[in-house]
Amino acid sequence: MPVPVASSDRLVGTVLDGRYSIESPLGEGGMGVVYRAHQISVGRDVAVKVVSEPAMLDETAAARLVREGKIAGAVSHPGIVTLIDLGHTPEGLPYLVMELVPGRSLKDILRDGPLAVDRALSIARQLADALAAVHALGVVHRDLKPGNVMVIEDEGGPKIKVLDFGLAKGPPGDAEGDITRSDVIIGTLRYLAPEVLFGSAPDQRSDIHALGVVLYEMVAGRPPYVGSNVMTLAARMASGPPDPLPACVPSVVAGLIDRMIANEPDARLSSALQTRELLDAARESLFDATSKVTMDPAPSEITGPVPPSPALEAAQPPPRRRGLSTAWIATIAVLGLSATALGAGLLYARSAAPRGAHDGDYRGLYFADSPPCSDGRLEMNVDRSEISGVAEGVIVVKIRGEVSPTGECRGEIFEGTVKVGTFEGRFEGGRGRGTTRDQARGCGGTWEALSR
């Protein structure tokens, strides 16, 4: 029997159950309309979701929304939107009341281009942690994609909220069952696992595949498979392999993505918890590897490879896309030696006996805030009040600056004799950190380095 549906403006100006004043539509998808509303009793803004016109005009649409509320209400996790209430409109439509999440959707953010690798790994790690909480209930999200992820900027880095459990598959033995017909493929094609595309039941590994596609898209700025229409896209997804990642993506990250989006479910990472651990290890390697590199007395040069950690070795698939078979090549990629990065490549510095409070050699990382800059490796030398260094790659970047007795530093960045940017920051307790600005490319980022 058909159920009544709400258009995107039908409820504006009304008050649901005498408690929720509907103010304006926030967005509309195939299943529901989301409104900004005000919870009168406690004086806070909330989001209200009601079945939309494009939704299936039968009880399945309403049942999905009710079950979405029950699943969201059963999970308590900082990375999953909080359910506040479940009710019905005067016409009998079910509605959900949820926390109003500030920020931008990941889909909207990716319109600006790829993310810095460290930022992408941070978001992916939080998504894996949220999936682990959902999977612990026996639930499969089944529609993880950038449009269902909100990103909130925070002083400690980006925070995420997973939205929309309308297509979720319930746990085995759920009394309400899977309200999806067995002959219907549910989800967004670009993020579907190949086995689901061909009719197999989705499981936790299907969500891991979707997360891998999202991570690929974050670091590449494009999806792993492209097709001119649905049929060609499906054929590309089924036949694999995906399009190559940009060369600037560290091989340890590329290898992890390969394991997450493997065509065969058994070749994929087996759980969201395992995925989270490997994402943590990949992110830590961006920093930890720099402290394991030794330097010759004169001139300062890399003398050996950094052995990968056991956890990261576990993330590496058999050589396929890049053919990187040696630890040395993998190490160089992990350190982010990118021709497009400000500060990418090796920074060589003169060795000098410490003669000031902050003198010494420092090594660390540079994290870009936007393209065309990207993450790279830093090595600095502080000699009394002066900072010096040279970045070598396809481009050569020289660093010159000074440090005050209290540790404040600032300086300039050059390509050859042309000034292309500036940096500033502070040294304290054997650590330096600060910001950079590349005026020539219109981007910048943050840097952090430890004294060896």
Instruction: Please give the pLDDT value at position 355.
Output: 63
How is the chain split into domains, by residue range? 15-99, 104-173+186-285, 346-451
Instruction: Please give the pLDDT value at position 443.
Output: 77
Tokens of 116: 């810095």
Residue with token string 């209430």: 85
Instruction: Please give the pLDDT value at position 343.
Output: 36
Task: Please count the other Cβ atoms lying within 10 Å of the Cβ belonging to residue 232.
Answer: 12
Place domain 346-451 in its CATH homologous superfamily.
Quinohemoprotein amine dehydrogenase alpha subunit, domain 2 (2.40.128.120)
Instruction: Please give the pLDDT value at position 293.
Output: 34
Return the closest-CA partner of residue 381 out of 402, 403, 364, 359.
359
CATH number of this structure's domain 104-173+186-285, picked from the four choices 3.40.50.720, 1.10.510.10, 2.130.10.10, 1.10.645.10: 1.10.510.10
Instruction: Please give the pLDDT value at position 68.
Output: 85
Which phi and psi angles does 323 have, rounded to 5°?
A: 65, 30
Instruction: Please give the pLDDT value at position 60.
Output: 74
Which residues are part of the catalytic machinery? 143
Instruction: Please give the pLDDT value at position 40.
Output: 96
Instruction: Please give the pLDDT value at position 261.
Output: 93
Return the closest-CA partner of residue 380 out of 395, 358, 355.
358
Contact 141, 154 (CB under 8 A): no
Helices (H), 36-164: 59-74, 106-110, 117-135
Place domain 15-99 in its CATH homologous superfamily.
Phosphorylase Kinase; domain 1 (3.30.200.20)
Instruction: Please give the pLDDT value at position 179.
Output: 54
What is 318-382 written as a DSSP string?
Answer: SS-SS---SHHHHHHHHTT--TTSTT-SEEE-------STT-EEEEEEEEESSTT---EEEEEEE
Instruction: Please give the pLDDT value at position 341.
Output: 35
The H or E element that residue 238 is part of is: helix 230-239
Chain centroid to Cα 136, Å, comes to 22
Is the pTM here over 0.85, yes or no? no
Contact 69, 97 (CB under 8 A): no
* Strand-strand pairing, 32-39 and 408-415: unpaired
State the number of CA atoms in the 13 A half-sphere of 36 facing the CB. 8
Spell out, as residue ranges, where the chain has pLDDT lower than 50.
1-6, 56, 181-184, 289-354, 392-394
